[in-house]
Structure 1
């Protein structure tokens, strides 16, 4: 039941990404970077000096440095060595005893060694949320996005992404910042994440998007762009009326959150509740092309039957 030796395979690129179901945008003020289980025990299963592990380590290093420069917290997960059968639980049946009690196997590889200020969580099960303080770290920091990299993609990384999603945390699954037993397992993880719980992306795409707001923001939204974005998501024609209730035209909470994320990336200061409470293009033109926006009661949006979760 030891880990299998992993044959080399090429690391996925941007061309291999599946179509994402949502258009969430990473934000340096909302994100935490998770480096998942990059311990010698797991990394040593790969063929040293070959793909995908060479790209894996290089990309995580680059992403970690970029996150540090933006003040994004860096969290590591690491499984303990020398677990008792009681501590190991059902993992014992699937994977055996796991990491031994010595100092070598449990260490995070030197190339990604945690620095002062990084957080290292002791991880007991597939998900990095299970029996750890990861959710507390996110909530206390008022952060609701989790960038996931590490190994193995279709096991712990994917389980962590799924649990993040179920706790209202947006996961970003770094396609060339994770690795797996095989190309097939790797692609399975990407496809599942994109369809059901996360945004799949690449290291370079994340670095491009994770910029200070002053750099990332572009020109103010135009009326034409606002309409085009709505028409695209609703798959409606351009005859959509400016004063129509967009909720009645099929704009559900998932699509509405996608619009919020898209427009925030342009520098617009807008919230889910503000759009949901006044769901017409006319109102949105006024909100998104104005620098001053009136406060909105959360209860008003709820009375219209919209929730900020699917």
Structure 2
């Protein structure tokens, strides 16, 4: 069955795959956060990434700021297309969206729920200082604390104008959300960073009470965005295998960058062509940078803007 749009992105089609890995992004995140995951998955797993409205290619659509409305929309769009068993994954805010989505699925569709960087339901307590009520400086302070590249993107004025409404919306959604008493009937795996400033690792253990299935916690070195360095370890718990290719090496070659830029700009540029003259702007720069951050690589936007060619970017990103 075809992938539902506009709610899902499938970056590598695998029609013969026996399992779908359905991934939900973190607050302020987008489907492109999972663009590089298929290279780490076995051939019988097809990855679908949920694209929330109000970001990337859905930037013109209204944001959704309540969990119930968001989950209702995802279930309506995605569940009818799930023609194979599903492993549901979510990181941070995405873990709670994935949880609520899995509760709503018809019995037998979900094989397991995998949650990342999110306390269990019983430990999801309201914080005293709500991020979505802070001023810009307060939001940036939270992003600095969590890491993951969000603070660096906010340093660019044009990107900041694009990101602030999205980030504020998502923090409002997750900070107002309260889990209900419903219990899952599938196995739950929890992945956490040992030094995550937003939660102690043991607060993930209350996911055990949220299901009648088994529960396992995996604690990794790193903070809230430990995934940048521990992706292979997480994939292995999902049934993953050795990567099909050295995806980082390929991603930062001129040809790898040409493929990524072509998807975003709609043209396939020459290595020394000025990308700004071909339509590159701050929003599209952000869409590209999310892919590089998935490899744990960050290069200042100012450096990229000073040398806006594939040849120069390949050198900068490889060095990064």
* The two structures share one fold, judged by TM-score above 0.5: no
TM-score, structure 2 as length reference: 0.37
Structure number with higher relative contact order (C-alpha < 8 Å, ≥ 6 residues apart): 1
TM-score, structure 1 as length reference: 0.38
Rg larger for: 1
